[in-house]
Structure 1
């Protein structure tokens, strides 16, 4: 994250691993795990500050805007009440900087923080820190843990370095945030980006291989070209006009893993409705209601790894606008799936 070896580092929280049934084929298990932390595109993540001086808050706001200004479908909206936010931000200076990863924030109690900043954010290192932690919340892991990086560590020196000031990390924290290689079911692609905002800076002596990084790694800070490419690919801008999901009409879905279909619902009667997918696919299904020109989460379901279909039920009102989004993790053996409203 910087070229200074004496800076403190992000200590991301351990992932909350969803148990999966035994016997899933390897490709299905990988795709389910890969999508588990990613948000349905078009989601508006609401964030709230639990405390903190205004300059630090403004630095975080600016970092959210920097991600959003890349032109993506994921939205960010500040709210006053932490209980109304998926992302709750603290500034505990004794707790370092960290975030939960992706949708793991939904498993955290509404009175607890999901992100913390433990040092000043108003300099360039602070800007990169804010971008880094928001990257975690969007579903990005640490880049230096990419299994395709080929990094061979001097593990004894790594543990020694992170146990010293200013980090004072336990061996478990060092292993989780540095030495543990991510599984191939936790990363997209097959390349390593040493310039990524999710990549730590490392001083000389911690890396044995690749040889050219023995003197250390010094990412330039900020978002790299590959960071930009990744977020635009996974969270592309969504069209303003969406196809209608008509009641009692099955709509086939032709999606690749990670792709998404979006539909508009405009009920002609106020009543309880059901929305569900059909087929053997693993999907995440989310329903939003438009309130004051903003889409608000109404209901959601995820059948990934289970022998059932995503399904949700909600009362919809005539004259209001709703949007349903379905993201596919695994298409099943046949590759066929569909969605229906009734």
Structure 2
């Protein structure tokens, strides 16, 4: 069976001001991809032939237009894989919608464009009519269900396990470049380096040890790895969620507790008391309809997100990430009496001596 590889699109590194402490930079690198817990991630599929794009024809100096739509059989594999991740009991929820402007995750099935996904919150930077995920080969073929599980792992904020600095892999670089330059990938050296040979920073890795059984570990044929010796014959992950994969999502997105968060009353600040990577949730029941501001206080790096409850589920309304900046996170929105809103604050790290708090006014 041909070994196929995930091709993540390169993303520009965030521009943080010089002089940030290593602790802050590490916390930002490890947390900036993550959604706030309790988020309902809406996904949709491109269908029909109206949406598509031009792709290069391998070996020819021309392109061809290929639609993004996929057959129901392909979509069903992805639905089943969303359900498998959901079945772990995480604090995230996946809901399928038909309106692409309502979806954080927009999925195409364009042959010839490989398999890839935006990583975590990177999806929010993608235009509302563009894909955040693509499947470029048949997911119903034997063993290819793992591809859908893998891409959803990226959407949750996971990166490639074979790029972990804890793996200790010594590649035969030129053999890797040659392998992926050929059929069926036709990758450039830059793409191969970005998706295989480049080592992640320790803070970016999915875990503190290498997990060769991870769904985020690509398979590799013999002849590409020099060390560790036991992997000279290749890496052959089972194509299922490993215990470490499950631990990753359950630690980052634990089951929502309590189900009814405490109120955030206007003009009354609430201390957060969070540790690195922890989150606090609140609800707002506006006493009157007007423009409100929700903001954090204190020397810390945080993500602040405001949701409005619609049809029984929280829908994104506004948010701000103050990570790496001296400012506090604030969002402004018109809140309507009789409706319910939720505020979620996830802490990267606190870097000052005082307490951190949240308030609406």
TM category, shorter: over 0.9
Out of 276, 279, 284, the position equivalent to 1:257 is 276
Q: Secondary structure of the residue that 1:263 maps to in structure 2?
A: strand
Q: Distance in 1 between matches of 2:206 and 2:197?
A: 19
- Deviation per residue, 1:260-294 (Å, 9 max, x gap): 00011111111111111100011000000111101
Alignment match, 1:20: 16
- Aligned counterpart, 1:268: 287
Equivalent residue, structure 1, for 2:43: 47
Instruction: Name the residue aligned to 1:228.
Output: 246
State the partner residue of 2:5.
9
8 Å CA contact retained: 2:3, 2:220: no
Task: Give the direction of change, closer, same or farther, for the CA distance of 1:129–1:340 in structure 2 (3 Å limit).
Answer: same
Deviation track 1:26-74 (CA, whole Å, cap 9, x = no partner) reads 1111111221111111111111111211000111111111101000011
Say which of 289, 314, 321 aligns to 1:295: 314
Q: Following TM superposition, by how much is the alpha carbon of 1:231 offset from its aligned partner in structure 2, in angstroms?
A: 0.5
How far apart, in 2, do the equivalents of 1:332 and 1:124 lie?
A: 50
**Which structure 2 residue ranges, 5 or more long, are not aligned?**
47-68
Alignment partners' CA distance in 1, 2:354 and 2:205: 23
For residue 124 of structure 1, report the CA deviation from its aligned partner.
4.4
Q: Does 1:317 align with 2:336?
A: yes
Match in the other structure for 1:138: 156
Secondary structure of the equivalent of 1:34?
helix
Residue 93 (str. 1) matches residue 111 (str. 2): yes
Give the number of the structure with larger relative contact order, counting CA–CA contacts within 8 Å between residues 6 or more apart.
1
Greater Cα shift, 67-76 or 185-194: 185-194
Report if aligned partners of 1:16, 1:104 keep a CA contact under 8 Å in 2. no
Q: Who is 1:79 aligned against?
A: 97
Deviation string 1:301-328 (CA, Å, 9 cap, x unpaired) is: 1110011100011111111111100000
- How much has 1:185 moved relative to structure 2? 3.0
**Contact 1:269/1:318 (<8 A) preserved:** yes
**Secondary structure of 2:110's partner?**
coil
Find the aligned partners of 2:141 and 2:243 in 1 and give their Cα distance: 22
SS of 1:190's equivalent in the other structure is coil
* CA distance in structure 1 between the partners assigned to 2:133 and 2:316 by the alignment: 21
Distance 1:131 1:158 in 2: 24
TM (normalized to structure 2)?
0.91
Does the 8 Å CA contact 1:197/1:223 hold for their aligned counterparts? yes
Matched, 1:241 2:237: no
Q: How many residues matched?
A: 338
CA deviation profile, 1:218-246 (whole Å, cap 9, x unmatched): 11111111101111110111121211112
Could you say if the C-alpha distance between residues 311 and 159 of structure 1 is closer, same or farther in structure 2, counting changes exceeding 3 Å?
same
1:10 CA drift (Å): 1.0
More moved, 184-193 vs 104-113 = 184-193
- Which consecutive aligned stretches of 4+ in structure 1 deviate over 6 angstroms post-superposition? none
CA contact (8 A) 1:281 1:335 kept: no
Q: 2:81 aligned to 30, 51, 63, which one?
A: 63
Contact 1:7 1:166 in 2 (8 A): no
- TM-score norm. by structure 1 comes to 0.96
Q: CA distance change for structure 1 residues 335 and 16 in 2, over 3 Å: closer, same or farther?
A: farther
Distance in 1 separating the partners of 2:350 and 2:5: 39
Q: Quote the Cα distance in structure 1 between the aligned partners of 2:326 and 2:115.
A: 39
Kindly report the root-mean-square deviation, in angstroms, between the aligned alpha carbons of the 2 structures.
Answer: 1.2
User: How far, CA to CA, are the matches of 1:69 and 1:16 in structure 2?
Assistant: 33
Distance 1:41 1:16, change over 3 A: farther
* SS of structure 2 residue aligned to 1:229: helix
Cα deviation, residue 335, structure 1 = 5.9
Q: What SS class does the counterpart of residue 204 from structure 2 fall into?
A: coil
| Unpaired runs of at least 5, structure 1 | none
